[in-house]
Chain A
Amino acid sequence: MSGVALAAAAALVDLVLAELAVGVQVAGTELFPNGVLEYLIGGLFVGAGISVIYLGSGIIAGNSTFLETTLSYGSRLPRFRQPRFVQSRDWRVVFFLSIVAGAAVYKLAFDPTVWVTEVQWWRLLGGGVLVGIGTRVGKGCTAGHGVCGVGSVSRTSLVNVALFVGTAIVTALVVSGLGVSP
């Protein structure tokens, strides 16, 4: 139990440090060239959404399990047909649709302009395949490990997050170093 308190404290310290870094110049580069408010407020909402579901149901809802539970509708592979997938697949579809709708509400209310990413399709597709493999093999994604696992001060999640953040930074720097943009 004190572990959770410790983790909350550690996360809080991180947050404060990040706050302090606002406006601080590191090697001539600003850490937060676009400010901090949208990031912080958005993050609080993400945590609040997870908390609402948790308090009402006791369920810690990650986002990548949806991929496998949804495959169980069409696949007979035992991996996807395991009871915990089949039992949760319906509400996970509802959860997915609600996330889409919540984002649409934001878009319509705050920024009703048409926007489409310029990141190239092959990056999205190729990266997406690896995200699908990695999150399912690794038992979670940015929400499951990154938010809920870190919030639980789970050593497993801290290891996983350190690995995927570190690998992603190296990968993104290599890709941009090769001249791919965006």
Chain B
Amino acid sequence: MSAEGRGPLFTLLIVAGGLIEGFGLAYSGMARPEVVLDFLQLEDFGLLLVMGGASVVAGVTFFVATRWLDRAPLTGRSYTRRVKSLDRNVVTGGLIFGVGWGVSGICPGAGYASLGVGNYVILWAIAGMFVGAYAQGYWRAYRSDAGADAVSAD
């Protein structure tokens, strides 16, 4: 098994987790942008139950695993919480994501699930997400190149 644990069991684990998550996203209505927009227009607060319910389950799992379990069986990784550094990007990104979510009513995971329920029109949104992800990568590469030039010029 490689360091990242890429055996067949690992793939099976990803498939199982993805199936369960996709099922849940469709069951909860999040695969329908209309339902998300109903929340964002303050007409139906169900989305809070989806996000809240999922966070509680994930939170309890993280708590139990980080406290009482040793290492993940399929990768040998130690269990950690999801903590990323708070910087300006987190703020800027959150604001841009918010505008996009408010305009479209779709986020990445729900978009994939939406494809699964046969909503092929959602390909517009998924294509958009790839364009957006590429654009920010391109912009960052350009900026860091410019930054490197400035440094070497000194």
Contacts and interface: CB of A to CB of B under 8 A. Distances in A.
On chain B, which size bracket covers the interface? 35 or more
A118 B114 CA distance: 13
B13 A52 contact: yes
B interface majority secondary structure: helix
A20 interface: no
B97 A134 contact: yes
B24 A100 contact: no
B146 interface: no
B119 A48 contact: no
Interface in A24-42: 29, 31-34, 36, 38-42
Contact of A42 (B28, B45, B103, B118): B28
Contact of B22 (A80, A102, A133, A165): A102
Nearest to A144: B82
B108 A39 contact: no
B49 A8 contact: no
Contacts of A42: 24-30, 50, 53
B142 to A, nearest CB: 9
Given A42-B27, A127-B128, A51 B57 contact: yes
B125 to A, nearest CB: 4
A25 B45 CA distance: 12
A168 B65 CA distance: 33
Contacts of A151: 54-62, 82
Interface string A40-84: 111111111111111111111101101110110001011110000
Contact of A164 (B65, B86, B94, B132): B94
Contact of B105 (A60, A104, A119, A143): A119
A128 B56 contact: no
Interface of B: 4-6, 9-11, 13-34, 37, 40-63, 65-67, 69, 71-75, 77-86, 89-122, 124-138, 140-141
6 contacts: A41-B27, A47-B53, A94-B18, A117-B34, A136-B93, A163-B94
Can you list the 6 inter-chain pairs with the closest CB atoms, starting with the nearest? A138-B93, A132-B132, A42-B28, A128-B128, A127-B104, A98-B18
